[in-house]
Amino acid sequence: MSDAPRWRDAVVVTDDQGLEVLADAASVAIRSLKRTSPGPRSDWTPSAIHDLIGAIEICPDEGVALDAVLAQLGDAVWRHGVVPGDPACVAHLHPPTLVAAVVTELAIAAANQSMDSWDQSPAATEVELHLMDWLAGQIGLPPAASGVMTSGGTASNVLAMTLARSWAAAKVDVDVLKQGLPSEAARWRILCSDQAHFSVQRAAAQLGLGRDAVVTIATVASGAMDVAALDSELGRLADAGLQVIAVVATAGTTDLGAIDPLTEIAERAREAGAWLHVDAAVAGAFLLSERLRPRLAGIDLADSVTIDFHKLWWQPFNASALVVADVARFDLLRVKSNYLDRGDELEGMVNLVGRSLDTSRRFDAAKVVATLRTLGRRCLAEMVERVVDLSTYAGAALSARPEFELLAAPSSVTCVFDAPGVDADGLRRVQQRLLARGEMVLGRTEIKGRPALKFTFMNPLSTPGDVDQLITMVADELRAL
Per-10-residue mean pLDDT of the chain, 481 residues long, equals 74 91 94 88 96 96 95 95 96 97 97 95 97 98 98 96 97 94 96 97 96 97 97 97 98 97 98 98 98 98 98 97 97 84 84 92 97 98 98 98 96 97 97 97 96 98 98 97 87
Any idea what the CATH number is for the domain that residue 172 is in? 3.40.640.10
Crossing angle of helices 262-272/227-239, nearest 10°?
Answer: 10
Examine the domain organization and report whether 328 and 226 are in the same domain: yes
On whether residue 44 sits in a domain, the answer given is yes
CB 458 within 8 A of CB 94: yes
Q: Which of 310, 336, 370 is the last residue of a domain?
A: 370
Which residues is 189 bridged to in the sheet? 244
Q: Which of 352, 370, 388 is the last residue of a domain?
A: 370
Examine the domain organization and report whether 186 and 319 are in the same domain: yes
Q: Residue 417 in 3-state DSSP?
A: strand
List the domain range (segments joined by +) for residue 317. 107-370
Q: Which of 370, 391, 413 is the last residue of a domain?
A: 370
Burial class (CB in 10 A: 0-12, 13-18, 19+), 245: buried
What pLDDT score was predicted for residue 38? 87
On whether residue 95 sits in a domain, the answer given is no
What pLDDT score was predicted for residue 8? 79
Reported as type and span, the H/E element at residue 475 is helix 464-480
On whether residue 328 sits in a domain, the answer given is yes
Backbone φ and ψ for 87, nearest 5 degrees, come out as: -60, -20
CA gyration radius, the chain: 24
Examine the domain organization and report whether 214 and 313 are in the same domain: yes
What pLDDT score was predicted for residue 1? 52
Examine the domain organization and report whether 419 and 311 are in the same domain: no
Any idea what the CATH number is for the domain that residue 391 is in? 3.90.1150.10
**Using CA atoms, how far apart are residues 375 and 381, in angstroms rounded to an integer?**
10
Distances, alpha carbon 107 to alpha carbons 12, 110, 111, 112, 118, in Å: 11, 5, 6, 8, 19
Provide the whole-model pTM: 0.95
Give the count of domains, the chain. 3
On whether residue 310 sits in a domain, the answer given is yes
What pLDDT score was predicted for residue 343? 79
Examine the domain organization and report whether 355 and 386 are in the same domain: no
On whether residue 85 sits in a domain, the answer given is no
How many residues comprise the chain? Answer: 481
On whether residue 255 sits in a domain, the answer given is yes
Examine the domain organization and report whether 247 and 125 are in the same domain: yes
Distances, alpha carbon 361 to alpha carbons 74, 149, 236, 256, 340, in Å: 28, 9, 43, 32, 14
List the strands of the sheet with 414-418, edge to edge.
89-90, 441-447, 450-456, 414-418, 405-406
Please name the residues in contact with 144: beta carbons below 8 A apart, sequence gap of 6 or more: 325, 326, 327, 328
- H helix intervals, 141-242: 153-170, 176-179, 199-206, 227-239
The amino acid sitting at 153 is G
